[in-house]
Chains A and B, each alone.
Chain A
């Protein structure tokens, strides 16, 4: 499978492949037009190491306080066969939760393929038997840009009354029924990735994929306490976006076809050139979602790309890609192509009005 495709192994420079997780897939689909990220991710390249080597170290460090808090909260919810979680679903959400059989599919050293096979078996069993079942750390696979990718297993799948629910445990607080919108949005995007992967697996096992519910359960600390609270979250919108974006991802084979045969992202002197050979599509959103962001930003700024100022601005400019070209239009450049006539007129007007207001009108 992925690990062994020779072309991708060569791209990694024989380094071990990195797993995807829901966060990286959600981020990947946030910028589906970026071939650079698509290829690096498909090949399982360690982007952090690449960025470090390029001298643009990403700043995605995590505070040990946050890690400790996250782990202890998760441990608390999962203690005693997820007793707290099940009590919560019965109490807060009033669900009819029967006794559940649980299977912990956490890594025990064997390979990813073997662990995926184990998840398949456990899931197959739960689906045929029905009834309450809890799969912890299921190892799922999702097809990304024409190649299968393993998902870091950090959720629970819970079967209730014949339906499977994804359960995400997050340590951000829900205060008076509200949490920070960005954090909820990110959790919903990630949950959608798991729902989709789970649905594909359920279908492969010959069951109805709709048995995986679009309602996921988000478990967070309540107010300022450690007490968990469960909130159902409908991720249908995120699922729709995800499915659409996944089909829009440029196929890895197509990207590879355009590139020199010997291309590799090994950490050596040729690295900057190799990275630049693959087309990027930088936007400020990359800063929070991609390890390569500082490198790509520098590249975008160096060539005066309007995209580095944000998508809204680029759209305002009617798609003019370069700062220089846009400023030339504003200054009244001749020979404006017809498709830019409207943008040019607006920019000229804006320039005149700015000049007047600032008293710099010529």
Chain B
């Protein structure tokens, strides 16, 4: 945590209300998200209990397993969930935009839309990943045949889970995480993991302040947990008797289980939509649309190759894992840089570290030419008064945070003043394009941060995996054991 975040949290304690950590929204919000709140049976890794989901606030769909230990009921649930999810995925993709042929002549398309799953917390995301793992290898024929929607559900959930590892992806949002990116509360990260408590700090109900709202939110009797774990007292007092009645074949017992689960899910449903409202009220960051485009590319690719694809392997091969890690690191770098360019409050982190500085232009020489070479070059200079503790040496390359294309380098630094020479992004002529060189009196921020400085990855091809990494991996072909894996 940085001193800036620390300070924001101290301010929140004093104000008894959350304080902003961002001035713009850093995640994409779909106009048609699918809110998904899963619950699982306590003590079991992958036993779903229920899920409340849907894309319309006033029309939540409730799917429940009246006896979570019953394998057939569990698969019936997975099939139902699969159908809802597939229908949503199809509805979300819009039309295919033709992007023209790529360099190697292949036709490229991108869907105008993509699905967005919204979960209350990271626990819910992890549970969906497990649910994906437990269903994607199932077969639709033979001894352990299941409905086609079951393995399809598994493959889609796995795809969502894997895509989520990519920094800046908005295909799956965990609301606690999304909110924490934009607000600091006066409680610890442990307590922030509770969606209701977090929202209590950010937007307390009338007449309450953050701590008071969080206290109500923490009491499972007044605010059911947002899952995937249920309140143990609810399990023991309400759910267990209802399931027992179902086991005995009592009239309407299935409905009793469902209604019990609905009481636990409905409050979180409301919270999820409130959280989305709060995020939607923030203006969208400039680079959000670009990242969503990458998400749409990934979605388009997966959707178009789904039919001929096979379930994702249980584990990555060594080279696959290294390549993936490299990709993720690059994505992380550029995501962080983009956020800083979008948001002065994030850029402030770099100023605090001395990797950026802000101040007022005291002198500007916009038409300055460097005539030392054969041909004159346009090299405007600026003197910037700053109080920031700069840690960049003369010669360091910087860019204008407001116009990242405008590049320059630090010439001198000392006594609260930086002399910057602009070297690029000013147009092709010997006079700068209008609006590229700040005038005297302007407030500016320059930074050494750039978007993604990594070179392309060099990894051995699949079949050349060194033996130290297990040799070439066999292509993953799910077998009958996968299909018949116990799910009990």
Please classify how large the interface on chain A is, using the bins under 10, 10 to 19, 20 to 34, 35 or more.
35 or more
Which residues of B1-18 are within 8 A (CB) of A?
Answer: 1-4, 6-11, 13-14
**B contact residues around A330 at 8 Å (CB):** 7, 10
Inter-subunit contact A172/B1 (CB<8 Å):
no
- CA gap between A25 and B14 in the complex, in Å: 36
Inter-subunit contact A347/B3 (CB<8 Å):
yes
**A contact residues around B345 at 8 Å (CB):** 354, 357-358
Q: Residues 102-123 of chain B: 1 if any A CB is under 8 Å from the residue's CB, otherwise 0? A: 0000000000000000000000
- Verify if B187 is at the interface (C-beta below 8 Å from A): yes
**A contact residues around B14 at 8 Å (CB):** 323-324, 327
- Verify if A287 is at the interface (C-beta below 8 Å from B): yes
Contact of A346 with B3 at beta-carbon distance under 8 Å, contacts A69-B44, A221-B45 already known:
yes
Inter-subunit contact A316/B347 (CB<8 Å):
no
- Verify if A128 is at the interface (C-beta below 8 Å from B): no
Inter-subunit contact B314/A349 (CB<8 Å):
no
- Verify if A95 is at the interface (C-beta below 8 Å from B): no
Residue from A69, A177, A350, A353 whose CB has the most chain B CB atoms within 10 Å: A353
Q: Interface with A: B52-60, B143-151, B188-196, B275-283, which one?
A: B188-196
Which secondary structure dominates chain A's binding surface? helix
- CA gap between A63 and B44 in the complex, in Å: 11
Inter-subunit contact A353/B351 (CB<8 Å):
yes
- Verify if B134 is at the interface (C-beta below 8 Å from A): yes
Q: Interface with B: A14-22, A161-169, A306-314, which one?
A: A306-314
- CA gap between A59 and B231 in the complex, in Å: 9
Inter-subunit contact A309/B20 (CB<8 Å):
no
Inter-subunit contact B133/A63 (CB<8 Å):
no
Residue from B45, B351, B488 whose CB has the most chain A CB atoms within 10 Å: B45
**A contact residues around B466 at 8 Å (CB):** none
Inter-subunit contact A313/B344 (CB<8 Å):
no
Residue of A with least CB distance to B8: A354
Which residues of B184-216 are within 8 A (CB) of A?
Answer: 186-191, 211
Residue of A with least CB distance to B49: A65
Total interface residues in chain B, CB < 8 Å: 55
Residue of A with least CB distance to B134: A224
Residue of B with least CB distance to A330: B7
Q: Interface with A: B85-93, B233-241, B329-337, B454-462, which one?
A: B233-241
Q: Residues 13-29 of chain B: 1 if any A CB is under 8 Å from the residue's CB, otherwise 0? A: 11000001001000000
Of the candidates A62, A224, A226, A316, which one forms a contact with B2 in the assembled complex, judged by CB atoms under 8 Å apart?
Answer: A316
- CA gap between A135 and B344 in the complex, in Å: 63
Inter-subunit contact A313/B389 (CB<8 Å):
no
- Verify if A110 is at the interface (C-beta below 8 Å from B): no
Inter-subunit contact A353/B486 (CB<8 Å):
no
A347 to chain B, nearest CB (A): 6
Contact of A323 with B13 at beta-carbon distance under 8 Å, contacts A63-B42, A63-B235, A356-B358 already known:
yes
A-B CB contact pairs (8 Å), 25 listed: A61-B236, A66-B42, A69-B43, A173-B44, A177-B315, A221-B45, A223-B45, A223-B134, A224-B487, A225-B486, A284-B190, A284-B191, A287-B190, A304-B13, A309-B10, A310-B189, A316-B2, A349-B3, A349-B389, A350-B3, A350-B7, A353-B348, A354-B4, A356-B358, A358-B20
Query: Which positions in A face B, CB cutoff 8 Å?
Result: 59, 61-70, 171-173, 175-177, 221, 223-227, 284-285, 287-288, 301, 304, 306, 308-310, 312-313, 316-317, 323-324, 326-327, 330, 346-347, 349-354, 356-358
Q: Which 10 A-B pairs have the closest CB atoms?
A: A66-B43, A173-B45, A225-B486, A69-B43, A63-B42, A284-B188, A63-B235, A61-B232, A353-B348, A357-B344
